[in-house]
Structure 1
Amino acid sequence: MANPPKKPGRSRAEEKAAQQARREARREKAARQAEALARERARRKLKERLIVGGVVLAVIAAIGGIFWYQQAKDSARENAAVPANITDEFALATGEDDAPRTVEIYEDFLCPACAQFELATADMLDKAAEDGKVQVKYYPIEILGQYGDYSKDAANAFAVVLDKSGPEVAKKFHDLLFKEQPAESGDLPDKDWLIDRAVEAGAEESEVRPGIEDGTFDLWVENATEHAFEEGVTGTPTVMVDGERFEGGPAELAALLG
Structure 2
Amino acid sequence: MSEKNHDGRRAARERLLQDRELQKARDKRRRLLIVSAAVVGVLGLAAVVGVIAANSGGKGKGDSASTGPVAAPSGAEGEDALALPAGASDAPSTLTVWEDFRCPACAQFENVMRNTIHELTDSGQLRVEYRLATIIDGNLGGNGSRRAANAAACAQDAGKFVPYHDVLYQNQPPETDDAFAQNGRLIELAGKVQGLDTPAFRDCVESGAHDSWVEKSGEAFHKGDFSGTPTVLLNGQSIFPQRGNEQISPENLKKWVTEANKGKKPGTAQPSPSGS
Deviation for aligned residue 1:235: 1.2
What CA deviation, in whole Å up to 9, does each residue of 1:196-217 have, x standing for no partner?
A: 1123213133111111112111
Match of 2:88 among 77, 81, 96: 96
Overall identity of the aligned pairs, in %: 32
Q: Does 1:124 align with 2:148?
A: no
SS in 2 for 1:139: strand
C-alpha RMSD over aligned residues: 1.8
What CA deviation, in whole Å up to 9, does each residue of 1:85-144 have, x standing for no partner?
A: 212211221111221111000000011110010111111111111111111111122111
In structure 2, runs of 5+ residues without a counterpart are: 1-64, 243-247, 259-276
For residue 85 of structure 1, what is the aligned residue in structure 2?
A: 75
Which protein is richer in helix relative to its size? 1
**Is the CA contact (8 Å cut-off) linking 1:199 and 1:205 kept in structure 2?**
no
SS in 2 for 1:121: helix
Please tell me the residue identity of whatever aligns with 1:110. R
For residue 26 of structure 2, what is the aligned residue in structure 1?
A: none
For residue 184 of structure 1, what is the aligned residue in structure 2?
A: 175
Give the number of equivalent residue pairs.
181
Please tell me the residue identity of whatever aligns with 2:232. V
Match of 1:150 among 126, 137, 144: 144
For residue 250 of structure 1, what is the aligned residue in structure 2?
A: 249
For residue 231 of structure 2, what is the aligned residue in structure 1?
A: 238
What CA deviation, in whole Å up to 9, does each residue of 1:56-85 have, x standing for no partner?
A: xxxxxxxxxxxxxxxxx79x56x3111112
For residue 9 of structure 2, what is the aligned residue in structure 1?
A: none
For residue 107 of structure 1, what is the aligned residue in structure 2?
A: 99
What CA deviation, in whole Å up to 9, does each residue of 1:7-51 have, x standing for no partner?
A: xxxxxxxxxxxxxxxxxxxxxxxxxxxxxxxxxxxxxxxxxxxxx
Q: TM-score, normalised by structure 2?
A: 0.62
In structure 1, runs of 5+ residues without a counterpart are: 1-72
Counterpart-to-counterpart distance in 1, 2:253 and 2:153: 27
Counterpart-to-counterpart distance in 1, 2:255 and 2:132: 25
For residue 166 of structure 2, what is the aligned residue in structure 1?
A: 175
Deviation for aligned residue 1:187: 5.1
**Is the CA contact (8 Å cut-off) linking 2:143 and 2:178 kept in structure 1?**
no
SS in 2 for 1:200: coil
For residue 66 of structure 1, what is the aligned residue in structure 2?
A: none
Counterpart-to-counterpart distance in 1, 2:135 and 2:178: 18
Deviating 4+ runs (over 4 angstroms): none
For residue 190 of structure 2, what is the aligned residue in structure 1?
A: 198
Please tell me the residue identity of whatever aligns with 1:255. K
